[in-house]
Amino acid sequence: MSIPVLELIGHKLCPYVQRVVILLQEKQLNYTRIDIDLADKAKLRQLSVTAKVPLLLIDTDKSLFESQVICTYLDEISVGSMLPEDPYERARQSAWMVLANEVLHAIANIIYRDKSFEKMTASLKKITVHFILIERQLDGSGYFSNAEFFLIDALYATIFRYFEVFVMPASIDPFHNLTKLNRWRKLLAQRSSVQNAVPDNYAELLIEFMRPKGMAMSQLL
Ligand SMILES: N[C@@H](CCC(=O)N[C@@H](CS)C(=O)NCC(=O)O)C(=O)O
């Protein structure tokens, strides 16, 4: 199958965009990228029926929305796969990717909705519970399924990135005692596709994005 002309409409900080970008890089696919301002709702609505990024334009006349759908499509049209061949392992990873999206919702609450420290703490606790559960899934020798870097690794890399910027209240450390998770997190941060999915000044941009929203976390940054 020949690879179509790909144009990704995204946003510099969006974790759903990042997973697509990581896959595009891992698969060495050519694409162009346009980052838009999420505050420009008119432009968002004009580009996408969901008024959300990522949006993938294909050969200029077709488009896809929803990051997982975009990733699966790109995976299918290119050489190799970022999803396991074994049906059980593929299904197991899919299940944990669904839960990864729940963690992203908790992170979105911290960024957009948790005005009080109590609410923010509740979101961080939810994330901590998830990290404890996922620690039990890891064997500690490499990526989620050991040697190979799959799409699930891309998803979690975008989650862990927030915790390089977020400042934790004294009572909470979502990574406490999670040896395997911490090793996985470090390994993901070293991967070039993960590093290159965001601008070099990501931390600065995230803080700039969060400050005006005035949520509890932004007061700690
Ligand atoms: N389920 C969607 C979620 C995409 C999403 O929520 N994108 C956010 C940016 S990270 C967005 O475009 N929000 C629109 C807005 O803020 O108005 C996907 O996986 O693509």
Query: What b/e readout covers 175-203, taking b as 16+ CB neighbours within 10 angstroms?
Result: eeebeebbebbebbeebebbbebbeeebe
Cα distance between residue 172 and residue 96, in whole Å: 23
CA of 55 to the centre of ligand 1 (A): 10
Q: Is the CB of 11 under 6 A from ligand 1?
A: yes
Give pTM, 2 decimals: 0.97
Asked if residues 9 and 47 have their Cβ atoms less than 8 Å apart, the reply is yes
Q: What is the pLDDT of residues 112-144, one digit of tens each?
A: 999 999 999 999 999 999 999 999 999 988 999
Q: What is the pLDDT of residues 140-193, one digit of tens each?
A: 889 999 999 999 999 999 999 999 999 999 889 999 999 999 999 999 999 999
Question: What burial class does residue 75 get, using C-beta atoms within 10 Å of its C-beta: 0-12 exposed, 13-18 middle, 19+ buried?
Answer: middle
Q: Is the CB of 36 under 6 A from ligand 1?
A: no
Q: How many residues does the chain have?
A: 221
Q: Give me the half-sphere count of Cα atoms (radius 13 Å) on the Cβ side of residue 35.
A: 12
Please name each of the domains of the chain with its CATH number.
6-77 (3.40.30.10), 87-220 (1.20.1050.10)
